[in-house]
Structure 1
Amino acid sequence: MPKYDKADVERRMAGAVESLKSDLSGLRTGRANTALLDPVVVEVYGAMMPLNQVATVSAPEPRMLSVQVWDRANVIAVEKGIAHANLGLNPIIDGQTLRLPLPDLTQERRKELAKLAGKYAEGAKIAIRNVRRDANEALKEDEKKKDISEDERKRLEEEVQKMTDKFVAEVDAAAAAKEKEILTQ
């Protein structure tokens, strides 16, 4: 039974790209983005819950987020959750709605965020290369077991390299787009 599985390799590489895109969406740019509040957890009903399970988050203006809390009793808990997330946001309570004005980003902070985006991208590339390494090891093992020939192994290694190049290019494109977005707001 061959160990190499092309579909699994592709799925794992695509997963690294998706993870990167998720990480990048949480990076704050000058524009309001509801994904900014994705990591916020709130203590309600005696349990820690993600913010999106107790409120609706929207971006009514380019520099403002709005959090509509479903249960009036949870407004203070949501405010505390946002404060504890260390996002640099100061909620303004207006009934069951919290308004979160986004302060301007300094040039220094923009550079830090761009560097962080690059760090996330490098982590994704490392994950992709690790998948490539695992695939190549599986191919060598298949060749040892005589499941595939040496020529077949070489052909499949080239295929794995092409997949790697494709996903690394996606990572580079996503990171470049995010860095541009951060630096030009």
Structure 2
Amino acid sequence: MTYDDILLDAEERMEKSVSLLSEQLKGVRTGRATTGLVDSIRVEYYGNSTPLKQLANLSTPEPQQILIRPFDQQILGDIIKAIQASELGLNPVSDNKVIRINVPSLSVEQRKKLVARVKDLAEEARVSIRSIRRDANKHADQSMTDKILTEDDCAKCKEEIQNLTKKYEGKVNELADKKSAEILED
């Protein structure tokens, strides 16, 4: 691989790790209602597992409530079952047209557990980024062995890879800190 290919590949993969973390954090509860809690819940719809956001209009009319308005009224029961089966601990209520979910306030103990979960997700992302760094460094070494890169270019490439690693670990830390602060505020 060339110098630019190694860096581009590493950066794309690190960006995907940060994006995945961002998506995972959307599903972690905070004290407020947000459609991000339920939009990725999978619902069985005509034999396919489909994300809820593709089956219904999601909104938060009040700070502690999520409103789900299905496009097809016949899947109300399936949506309720999927929400109850999720690990969110939410209790959906239906009036045969819409589903309302009241999001209760979190106790101090629940908040601490959620912050621990955020830290675990962030650590998984950091491990992924470090793994990408290791792979990129191997590619740089292999390119030097194959005489594609000079020794100086290899060293410079590894330095750039380390800079990318620091940059994306910083993004992970920023996302985790922001989410932890959201969870801990009342």
Structure 1 length as normaliser, TM-score?
Answer: 0.94
Which amino acid in structure 1 is aligned with residue 39 of structure 2?
Answer: D
Cα shift at 1:169 = 0.5
Q: Is the 8 A contact 2:133 2:165 kept in 1?
A: yes
Task: Find runs of 4+ consecutive structure 1 residues off by over 3 angstroms.
Answer: 1-4
Task: Name the stretch that deviates more: 116-125 or 32-41.
Answer: 32-41
Q: Secondary structure at the match of 2:147?
A: coil
Distance 2:74 2:129 in 1: 45
Q: Is the 8 A contact 2:7 2:160 kept in 1?
A: no
Tell me the equivalent position of 1:17: 18
Task: Name the stretch that deviates more: 40-49 or 75-84.
Answer: 40-49
Percent of aligned pairs sharing the same letter:
37
Task: Name the stretch that deviates more: 67-76 or 1-10.
Answer: 1-10
Tell me the equivalent position of 1:66: 67
Number of residue pairs matched? Answer: 185
Distance 1:145 1:42 in 2: 50
Tell me the equivalent position of 1:143: 144
Task: Name the stretch that deviates more: 16-25 or 3-12.
Answer: 3-12
Structure 2 alignment gaps of length 5 or more: none
Cα shift at 1:2 = 3.6
Distance 1:145 1:54 in 2: 52
* Deviation sequence 1:118-159 (CA, Å, 0-9, x none): 000000001111111011111111111111111111111111
Structure 2 length as normaliser, TM-score?
Answer: 0.94
Note if 1:54 corresponds to 2:55: yes
